[in-house]
Amino acid sequence: MTLLWDNALLTGNDLLDKQHKELIKRVGHFLKALETGVDKEDVTKILEFLSEYAAEHFRNEEKLMALHKYPEYKSQKQDHAHITKVLSALLTYVKDIGVTAELVAQTHQTIYDWLKQHIHEKDKKFAAFLKHKET
């Protein structure tokens, strides 16, 4: 499955949108690697790369939230912690067991679907909050 950026995910905040596009791209690379049967070492590297970028994005987003005293900061931080744990568990799974059909299905559902939902429901709301503060 090829993942492409969907403009319906645009938040209206250039920084968030740029980082979200990169996250979608990296999730897509990871899923493609899983589906094409890339070896365990390569999948591990791709997943580590994705995890590091996601952590960097979450830190940036949380700093912005704290700086602007975003009222839903704690909820966002909890969501970020959840997906970080999921990515960590996937990395452990790949290292211990390898790439399986179950992993491919679970990854799509838990990462890509979560990311789309999170952007739609949480990050768009945060971007609107930032825009309102700027006016």
**Residue 70 domain flag:** yes
HEC string for 2-24:
CCCCCHHHCCCCHHHHHHHHHHH
Q: Taking Cα atoms as reference points, which of 72, 89, 23 lies closest to residue 9?
A: 23
Residue 130 lies in a domain: yes
Instruction: For residue 55, give the 3-state DSSP assignment.
Output: helix
Range of the domain at 130: 12-35+61-134
Domain count for the chain: 1
Of 73, 25, 107, 74, the C-alpha closest to 17 is 25
124 in a structural domain: yes
Reported as a single tens digit per residue, the pLDDT across 16-45 is 999 999 988 888 888 888 888 788 888 899
Q: Over range 48-69, report the average pLDDT.
A: 94
In a domain, 27, yes or no: yes
pLDDT higher than threshold 60 for residue 62: yes
pTM: 0.86
Q: Encoding tokens for residue 42?
A: 């390569």
Whether 56 maps to a domain, the answer reads no
> Does residue 51 lie in a domain region?
no
